[in-house]
Amino acid sequence: MSATNSSLRTKAKKPHSLLAWGKDLIGYDEQVADVETPNPFRDAFHNIPEKATSYLQTLFPFTKWILHYNLTWFLGDMIAGLTVGIIVVPQSMSYAKIATLDPEYGLYSSFVGVMIYALFATSKDVTIGPVAVMSLEVGKVISHVQSQTGGDIYTAPEIATALAFITGIIVLGVGLLRLGWLVEFIPAPAVSGFMTGSAISILAGQVPSLMGYSDKFNTRAATYEVIINSFKHLPDTKRDAAFGLTSLVFLFVVRAIFQRIQLRARNPLVRRIAFFANTLRSSFVIIFVTVASWAYVRSYPVNQYPISILKTVPSGFKHMGPPLINGDLISRIGPLIPVSTIILLLEHIAIAKSFGRVNNYKIDPNQELIAIGVSNTIGTLFAAYPATGSFSRSAVKAKAGVRTPLAGWITGIVVIIALYALTGAFYWIPNAGLSAIIIHAVGDLIATPRQVFGFWKISPLEALIWMAAVITTVFSSVETGIYVSVAASAALLLYRIARPRGQFLGRVRLHAEVEDPLSTPQTHRDVYLPLVPDGIRNPAVRVDAPPPGVIVFRFEESFLYPNASFYADVVLDYAKKHTRSGQDFTATKTGDRPWNDPGPLRWAKPKPHVEGQFTQAEIEAQKPILRAVVFDFSSVSNCDTTSIQNLVDLRRVLERYAGREVEFHFAQILTPWIKRALLAGGFGTGKVVLERPLEIAPVVGLGGQETAPIARSAHFQRRFPFSPPRSPPNGVVEVQPEGPPSTSSKALDLESGLAAPPLNQKTWSDAGSDQEPVVSTLHSRFHLDLSSAVSAAVGTDEW
């Protein structure tokens, strides 16, 4: 019977022993495990059906407002849609010319873009269609493919529609996966830089067509070459310049006149008329130059026209059909797909956000990416080339009083009417007139001096990125300009993360301005400010440094692997500069000194003593020994394994330097994940020195040596004994054996209060001797605020 009971007891103990063995194997720590942290997997998979339903509803935003549609909204959408439609017809044909496509392809892209976008849009103002920068990129892609061996088998429309399909699918995938936040990594100066450079490239490329000598040289070479050749061929100017220059002057003069009327007119009706007259100036100039061109060239034979005109534009959708997509074409387009995708999504998101801010509504970047992704993929069935948001047409649409995205359907109807009813008139449009419209439109994309100086005032480094993007685009290509601006922005971001600012703090005690000491108790509030003037605060404010041997440091970025070593080095260098080493090698053998701190040369002649000046040894002797380090974590939203390992290494180095245990205190921890990470690093656990880990998660195993070596630690304690503990409140000093002070093994929590220090407790600033300091027996712990952390490190509320 007893044998059976013994066997049962053995079996009952096995699971417990196995569990204990497993915990010991992985280094399980109850203190770390007890920290309550949110479960990301549970939150991600919680209530999936409801999340799926909400996700599907967000794909079609029009369902939220279409049932509320009314007559007032319709009138606003009608006016705005007609206005944009009249503008988009000549602009889309002009931009197709930049893309080296026939003008009807610009009309196809305009129709599909505005119709599809209305169903998926979260912006009422943005108009989808051909734009100058994207058209320039499409032209470069076409030239790139056709210049390759065997690439001439593909026509320009086939390449353009294939590019639209590929980039549309990519952008659609980014939107569906909710990765629109990736766009935020490209700052506004970088966007403005390559937009400005692209606008200069487009403008330079259109001047030869404006003057009539575009056939004399390659207008798609580097921008600086095009500008030089344009000046060289000025004597070759043809009669086209009469139509082009006249149109350009007309556009600028009309805009200047009607903008002045809009600003000065007091009658709202006059301002409204001036706005529409100014808005429709491109359509007016096309009508005028088309009539003038027809009157001038109709008497000439077909192939002997004295000026270059648009000629035949097919009526309707003559080129509808599925896009040509095959592996060979994709491989030829491949190198330029990243740049094309960046332009497609970046320009659109920037425009949508801008109009959302101006008109007080919020856009969903992911849904906007879905909208342009669907527009471009479906647009390929209509032979459309890549389309994205247009700044100029969106601005007109907003000012015309648009109420909902449904205005895009009105614009689409106008484009269809133009495709079926006006193609005969399009035959006589002079190409110089279209070039004038392009030059006038892209001029608004060039950053003004005020904008550039604004970049410089806010962030000089970002102004340099803007300048680099413009110069690279002008002297190389649009693709290179985009890559340079994106790479420079990423490099600046990484530099700021890897080399963040950090401040060593002191205290400023604030008192009430008017206070009656007889009737009210004296009150004050402590504020911690950088010891070094930072250019923000009043330089007359005096900041009291912490007591000798205490360092208070504030992080100003998340504490992560790119900057962990930098932060640790900053604290270590500061400690060595303002405190002295607790290891006195003067009374020991020279061979005991470490190789990395060999001291002065034995044969070096000592410098002659100058009366009134202290020697270096005397200066060092006046410095205190490091007692405690207080970290302000109020700006640290994340930390990782590398950063905690750097803290562990920093503690070990500082303790060896100080010759005693150095307290680490942490104030204002923001998340339980940070608390858990600090506990895993041995901070705030109450464990003795021998139990502290050497490495948190070793990259290479230490062969079972996971804590500090006992022999070395004992030698460290024997030569440099720990400081005596604080006196207990009853005044009786407990005698402790040699070694680290006894401590409680309980984890100190954020909610635990601070014990009030005894009244007769000396602070470090008035301690009698550095050799027998009075220090706090509190362990490295976590505090609700910085004042509590500093008080715990100092050992009293008063300095």
**pLDDT of 151-161, one tens digit each?**
889 999 999 99
Question: Would you say residue 720 has pLDDT above 80?
Answer: no
**188-198 pLDDT per residue, tens:** 888 889 889 99
**Mean pLDDT, residues 128-134:** 92
d(CA 630, CA 788): 10
Task: Give the helix ranges, DSSP H, for 99-187.
Answer: 103-120, 132-146, 156-176
Q: Annotate 663-694 with b (16+ C-beta within 10 A) or e (fewer).
A: bbbbbbbeeebbbbbbbbbbbbbbbbbeebbb
Q: What is the mean pLDDT of residues 760-773?
A: 37
DSSP-derived 3-state class of residue 632? strand
Three-class SS state of 258: helix
Query: Domain 502-514+526-583+619-698+708-725+739-755+762-794 maps to which CATH number in 3.30.750.24, 3.40.630.40, 3.40.190.10, 3.30.300.30?
Result: 3.30.750.24
pLDDT by residue (tens digit) across 198-244? 999 999 999 999 999 988 898 888 899 999 999 999 999 999 999 99
* 686 vs 424: CA distance, rounded Å: 88
Q: What are phi and psi of 164, to 5 degrees?
A: -60, -40
Confidence (pLDDT) at 743: 35
Q: What confidence score (pLDDT) does residue 780 get?
A: 55
Q: What's the chain's average pLDDT?
A: 81
| pLDDT at residue 395 tops 90 | no
pLDDT for res 233: 93
Per-residue pLDDT at 13:
47
pTM for the model stands at 0.76
Per-residue confidence band for 479, with pLDDT thresholds at 50, 70 and 90: confident
Which amino acid does the sequence have at 367?
Answer: Q
Which pLDDT score, from 0 to 100, does residue 755 have?
Answer: 31
Q: Percentage of the chain with pLDDT > 90?
A: 41
- Whole-number pLDDT of residue 798: 62
Q: Across residues 386-410, what is the average pLDDT? A: 90
Average pLDDT over residues 435-460: 91
What would the mean pLDDT of 575-585 be, rounded to a whole number?
83
Burial category of 63 from C-beta neighbours within 10 Å (exposed 0-12, middle 13-18, buried 19 and up): exposed
3-state secondary structure 565-606: HHHHHHHHHHHHHHCECCCCCCCCCHHHCCCCCCCCCCCCCC
* pLDDT of 516 strictly over 70: no
Nearest to 781 by CA among 740, 753, 742: 753
Lowest mean pLDDT among 114-118, 161-165, 761-765: 761-765
Q: Average pLDDT for residues 525-530, to the nearest whole number?
A: 86
What is the DSSP track for 352-408? HHHHHHHTT----HHHHHHHHHHHHHHHGGGTPPP-EEEHHHHHHHHHTT--STTHH
- Residue 67: is its pLDDT beyond 50? yes
Backbone angles phi, psi at 418, to 5 degrees: -65, -40
Chain-centroid distance of CA 502 in Å reads: 20
Q: Is 225 helix (H, G, I), strand (E, B) or coil?
A: helix
* CB within 8 Å of 45: residues ≥ 6 apart: none
The whole-number pLDDT of residue 52 equals: 76
- The Cα 423–Cα 313 span in angstroms is 6
Q: Which residues are within 8 A (CB) of 207 and not within 5 positions of it... i.e. 6 or more apart? A: 226, 230, 435, 439
- Report pLDDT for 510: 82
**Helix or strand holding residue 32 (H, E):** helix 30-33
For residue 336, CA distances in Å to 5, 155, 343, 458 come to: 78, 17, 11, 33
Token couple for 49: 């059906």
State residue 174's pLDDT score: 93
Q: Is the pLDDT of residue 120 over 50?
A: yes
Domains in the chain: boundaries: 61-495, 502-514+526-583+619-698+708-725+739-755+762-794
